[in-house]
Amino acid sequence: MDLVINPRETGFVLLDLPQLFGNRNPVIVEIGSGKGRFLIASAMEKPDQNFIGIEKSLHYHRVIRERVAKRGLRNVRLINHDVFPVLQKMFADASVAEVHMYFPDPWPRRREQKRRIIRPEVLSEIRRVLADSGSGIYVTDHREYFDASAPLIAQFFRSENRIPGPEDPPRTNYEVKYRAEGREIYEIRFWKA
Ligand SMILES: C[S@@+](CC[C@H](N)C(=O)[O-])C[C@H]1O[C@@H](n2cnc3c(N)ncnc32)[C@H](O)[C@@H]1O
């Protein structure tokens, strides 16, 4: 079993997810998985679901790869690449059950905003790859990014904004850090149908 899918070696081939995991369990994709706290905790808690982490940074990719390998998690695969071509070329229509995005870089400067994950071309791909019953979640501490993202997400999905409270356990390293600092956290849940 190969933990890592490397499009630089294989090319951007369309993934056969049931073949990749050896089962037809639902596939959860995390974009920008960082050091992997959410992905690893979820994969351990839900062995009947499959998880794919797409992470651009080689440093973070190496950290998460080591952590996943150490735990012998068979329901995780990792891709170290920018998310857009990966979604566009490697995922079939309606092949994914959930997409999670925690604290994507806000790129606050106007000329850098084209790099944001929450932009129409990426949202369009997320919509395409999600199953009809599929859903997603986007979480940020950045008010301006949230304000810009909410109407965009609403163009592609049925969506609901919420603010996580003390009863919601933090899911990622950034969430732990930002909540300890007392920062406001904004969340959008969205559904294809
Ligand atoms: C602020 S960190 C948050 C990490 C983690 N989700 C958390 O909440 O702890 C943003 C992460 O997204 C990754 N990232 C940014 N742009 C990306 C892209 N276009 N494709 C894949 N990953 C990306 C970064 O490398 C970084 O690991």
pTM of the model: 0.98
Q: What is the DSSP letter of 112?
A: G
Q: Two tokens at 28?
A: 């959860």
The burial class, CB within 10 Å (0-12 / 13-18 / 19+), for 9 is exposed
Assign 128 to helix, strand or coil: helix
Q: Which residues are catalytic?
A: 105
Using one digit for the tens of pLDDT, what is the confidence trace for 147-192? Answer: 999 999 999 999 999 999 889 999 999 999 999 999 999 999 999 9
- pLDDT of 37 reads 98
- pLDDT of 159 reads 98
Mean pLDDT for 121-139 is 98
Q: Atom 5 in ligand 1: which residue has the minimum CA distance?
A: 34
CA of 133 from ligand 1 middle (Å) equals 26
Ligand 1 closest atom vs CA 115 = 19
Mean pLDDT for 21-47 is 98
Mean pLDDT for 94-113 is 97
Ligand 1 closest atom vs CA 60 = 27
Helix axes 120-129, 143-156, angle to 10 degrees: 50
Does a structural domain hold residue 68? yes
Banded pLDDT at 1 (limits 50, 70, 90): confident
| CATH number (domain holding residue 173) | 3.40.50.150
Predicted confidence (pLDDT) at residue 20 exceeds the cutoff of 90: yes
Scan for tokens 């994969």, then name that residue: 43
Residue 180 domain boundaries: 7-191
Q: Which residues are near ligand 1 (CB < 6 Å)?
A: 31-34, 54-57, 60, 82-83, 102-105, 117, 172-175
Does a structural domain hold residue 182? yes
Does a structural domain hold residue 72? yes
Does a structural domain hold residue 2? no
Predicted confidence (pLDDT) at residue 10 exceeds the cutoff of 90: yes
Q: Atom 27 in ligand 1: which residue has the minimum CA distance?
A: 34
Does a structural domain hold residue 177? yes
CA of 106 from ligand 1 middle (Å) equals 10
How big is the chain, counted in residues? 193
Does a structural domain hold residue 1? no
Domain count, the chain: 1
Using one digit for the tens of pLDDT, what is the confidence trace for 37-92? Answer: 999 999 999 999 999 999 999 999 999 999 999 999 999 999 999 999 999 999 99
Q: Two tokens at 142?
A: 């950045």
